[in-house]
Amino acid sequence: MAHPLRSAVRKSWQTLSSIKTGVVLIILVIIFSIAGTVILQRPITDPDDMQRAYSPAMLHFLDSTGLTDVFHSYWFVALLLFVSLSIIAASVQRFPNAWRYFSRPYKSPDEGFRRALPIQAQIAITDEEQGLGAAERAFRHMHLKSERIVRTDSFSLFSERNRISEMAVYIVHASLLLFFLGYFVVDAIYGWRGFMMLNPGSTSDKIEMRSGTTRTLPFSIRCDGTGEETYTDGTPKRWWSKLVVLDQQREAARKEIVVNDPLVYHGVRFYQASYGRTGKLERLLLNAVPANGNGATQEISLSEHQIVSLDPDTKVQLAEFIPDFVVQDGHVYARSNDVVNPAVHMIVTLAKENRAVNVWLPEIPGIAENASSPYKFEPKELKTEVFTGLEVSHEPGQWAVWAGVILMAIGLTFVFYVVHVRYWVVPIQDARGNHMLWVGGAANRNRDAFEHSFKRLVEQIQKEVRPTTAVGPEKPAESIPGTTVAGR
């Protein structure tokens, strides 16, 4: 009351830490996540597809609200920040209590507690010492450690197991915070992803980033070879690339990477992402047969723009390689970069006659002058250039994420499968002055199983008590006398 500001702060703190806020935040995260999977997302979807799917006004609206890139929009990150704050606030709010509970266990129950505890039983005994002794033996029988609690005016027994289970939920929440720290803080600030294309033999330190910019690495990567293996039916079986890391001009690392097995160097990871042909010629093997039939057949090998002498008078140059050609209006055009319908343009020069002949393979009518060439060419083998596509990423936050995963696995195991079990045994006197042993138990979860083991404990104590005492007069001997196992 005294300070309105302080009370406002306290109120918002309480709101933030309440389970209701948590549930509302979870619902909001779910709603926006659904939106992010239903609405087409920006970097992945082709801009043309976006325009086809939405009207311009709609697209403008979606873009301006960040709905086309939900998971990277500032408000989604802000929402998850709120979730983290809520988890922290809830944990801070509840932790002191839980810690007190954990560090100072409640060992000798008072009368009020004894009355209220739902799971309890009473057993008739002759005197305190005999009852407590029997209970101790029963605990030992059930592999439980018990301790005698000595107060000024009373003795009692206390036994417990798995106290750590009370802390488990904080472990789980801490692991969630580690996820957020790794993904939304470390990786969002220091992480990056990009793409790199290499031909065998080439070296590069440039990475095309998702955003379209280029990033230069402090070291460079050389590709010593790449290839594809296929199954007999043609489906790809394996893609591989031999990569070498060159740091300050010297070889720092070397690895043959395949899909599912990347190269890691200084926290930068290189993944085999794709493999293909660039549509450029690497080498063409040809047989050159003299057109007049005199002379031997020569085997020649050409790469682009290379010139080879066939005889002292004749030279051949590979002028152009078209991977997928189409003829239109007397010109040859390339339709695509896929090697599906290749054509080769060669120029045969005759020094003596001072003329050049345009030879095309295959012979394109109207353009090719193959007939006037002194040599006929028979293609033998066509080798086109291959490339390896490398996905490159730097995600320093992943260690926080993996630590979070391990922590969460441990936490969940404790939350669901490790039960904090407590037993108290207190000798009391009932209204008529008879000595009784009050036995109580509590478990923080899995109540049914606990009720079962509590019954077993009570039966065991009775067994230990019975040899020397008669059963209380008003209680039937068969059922557990005085056992009141209350419902929930």
Partner 1 sequence: MARAKVEQHPATGATLVVMVGLSIAFLLFIAFLNVVKSGNILNEANLLYAALVFYSGAGALYLGFGVTGTDAYIKFASLATWAGLIANTGAVAHRWYEAGHPPFASLYEMLLSFVWTLAALTLIAEKKYGVKVIGTVTMPVAIVGVVLMQLLRSDVRPLVPALQSTWLHVHVTLAMLAYAACALSFALAMMFLIQDKMKTETFLAATSIFTVGIYAAVLTRFERWGGLEVVAWDAENKSEVFISRGVRLFVTIPDLGWLMLLVFAAVAAPLVLYIVSRWAKISWGFAYATRRIPDAFRNFWYGGILQRKEYLSNTAQLWKNTNPIPENREGLAVVANRALFISILLQSLALVFFLLRVRDGHYASLDAEGLYPTSLAASPFILSALVGGIFANLLYLLLLWRREDLERLLPDSDALDRITYKTICIAFPLLTLMIAAGAYWANKAWGSYWNWDPKETWAAITWLVYAGYLHMRITRGMRGRVAAYFAVLGFAVVMFTFFGVTYLLPGLHAYA
Q: Which residues bind partner 1 (CB under 8 A)?
A: 19-20, 22-23, 26-27, 29-30, 33-34, 36-38, 41, 71, 183, 193, 231, 233, 235-239, 258-262, 269, 271-273, 391-393, 395, 398, 401-402, 405, 408-409, 412-413, 416, 445, 448
Question: Distance (Å, rounded) from C-alpha 375 to C-alpha 291?
Answer: 5
Q: Give the list of residues 6+ apart from residue 100 with CB closer than 8 angstroms, or none.
A: none
| Look-up of token digits 């106290």 | 163
Give the C-alpha distances (Å, rounded to integers) separating 249 from 108, 200, 285, 420.
73, 18, 35, 61
Q: Nearer to partner 1 by C-beta: 41 or 317?
A: 41
Residue number, 81 or 471, with CB nearest to partner 1: 81
**Contact between 160 and 418 (Cβ < 8 Å):** no
Residue among 123, 127, 120, 155 at smallest CA distance from 463: 123
Helix H or strand E encompassing 485: strand 484-485
Calpha distance 141→463 (Å, rounded): 11
Cα-Cα-Cα-Cα dihedral sign, residues 442, 444, 447, 449 = negative
Q: Which residues, including other chains, have CB under 8 Å from residue 175's CB and lie 6 or more apart?
A: 403, 404, 405, 407, 408, 411
Main-chain dihedrals φ then ψ at residue 132, nearest 5 degrees: -65, -40
Of 21 and 462, the one with the shorter C-beta distance to partner 1 is 21
Residue 4 CB, nearest approach to partner 1 (Å): 19
- Residue 191 or 295: the one with the smaller Cβ distance to partner 1 is 191
CB nearer to partner 1: pick between 134 and 401: 401
For the CB of residue 251, give the shortest distance to partner 1 in the complex, in Å: 24
- Measured from the CB atom, the residue of 182 and 441 that comes closer to partner 1 is 182
Distance from C-alpha of 338 to C-alpha of 343, rounded to nearest angstrom:
12
Closest distance to partner 1 from the beta carbon of 443 (Å) = 13
What's the closest the beta carbon of residue 26 comes to partner 1, in angstroms?
Answer: 5
| Min CB(30)–partner 1 separation in Å | 5
Output 235 or 292, the one with its CB closest to partner 1.
Answer: 235
Least distance from partner 1 to the Cβ atom of residue 454, Å: 17
Q: Is the dihedral of CA 162, 164, 169, 171 positive or negative?
A: negative
- Compute the least distance from the CB of residue 239 to partner 1, in Å: 6
Nearest CB to partner 1, comparing residues 37 and 429: 37
Instruction: Report the 10 Å Cβ neighbour count for 323.
Output: 21
Compute the least distance from the CB of residue 258 to partner 1, in Å. 7
Rounded Cα distance between 402 and 388, Å, is 29
Q: What is the DSSP letter of 461?
A: H
